[in-house]
């Protein structure tokens, strides 16, 4: 877990002068974590899925891909893995807060904006997004289906 937290801090917090420890919260032990690791053991991407209080809803948080590893499909595969996991766990909807520079990433993967999000560290605008998940072949729900 410490290597996962180090990646999160380096990608999501350090560039804005945030202290170590700000890359984690009190839900780490009850959430599902996924990472992408090179053959040499370098952690290059990480994200987390947590169950929300709303019925059949999950939230993706702390999506981080190291800058030199972006635009190689790693983030897409990580997101797809979390969506598949959410379906396995009975979730039908995923919510997340997308940093505005990455809105297109999520839009291209079927997430829709549902409202403004917070201004993180008083400088990073976010948009609240969601996606309805469906099992392949059911044809229900909105947006492109997540496949298993």
> Got the DSSP string for 42-81?
-EEEEEEEEE-SSTTEEEEEEEEE-GGGTTSSHHHHHHHH
Report the half-sphere exposure of 83 (CA within 13 A, side-chain side).
26
- Band of pLDDT at residue 40, cut at 50, 70 and 90: very high
pLDDT digit string (tens) for 84-119?
A: 999 999 999 999 999 998 999 999 999 999 999 988
Specify the pLDDT at position 143. Answer: 42
Mean residue pLDDT across the chain: 90
Per the CB < 8 A criterion, the answer to whether 79 and 60 are in contact is: yes
Query: Which residue in this structure is represented by tokens 């929300």?
Result: 52
Whole-prediction pTM value? 0.85
> What confidence category does residue 137 fall into, taking pLDDT thresholds of 50, 70 and 90?
low
> For the residues 57-75, what does the mean pLDDT come to?
94
5-24 average pLDDT score: 93
| Domains located in the chain, CATH noted | 2-95 (3.40.630.30)
């Amino acid at each position: 877990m410490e290597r996962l937290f180090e990646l999160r801090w380096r990608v999501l917090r350090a560039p804005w002068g945030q202290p170590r420890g700000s890359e984690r919260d009190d839900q780490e032990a009850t959430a599902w974590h996924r990472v992408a690791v090179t053959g040499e053991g370098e952690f290059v991407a990480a994200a987390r899925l947590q169950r929300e209080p709303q019925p059949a809803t999950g939230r993706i948080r702390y999506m981080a891909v190291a800058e030199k590893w972006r635009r190689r499909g790693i983030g897409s595969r990580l997101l797809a893995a979390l969506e598949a996991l959410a379906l396995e766990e009975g979730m039908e909807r995923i919510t997340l807060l997308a940093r505005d520079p990455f809105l297109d990433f999520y839009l291209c993967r079927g997430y829709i904006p549902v409202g403004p999000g917070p201004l993180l560290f008083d400088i990073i605008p976010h948009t609240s997004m969601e996606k309805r998940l469906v099992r392949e072949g059911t044809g229900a729900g909105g947006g492109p289906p997540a496949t298993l």
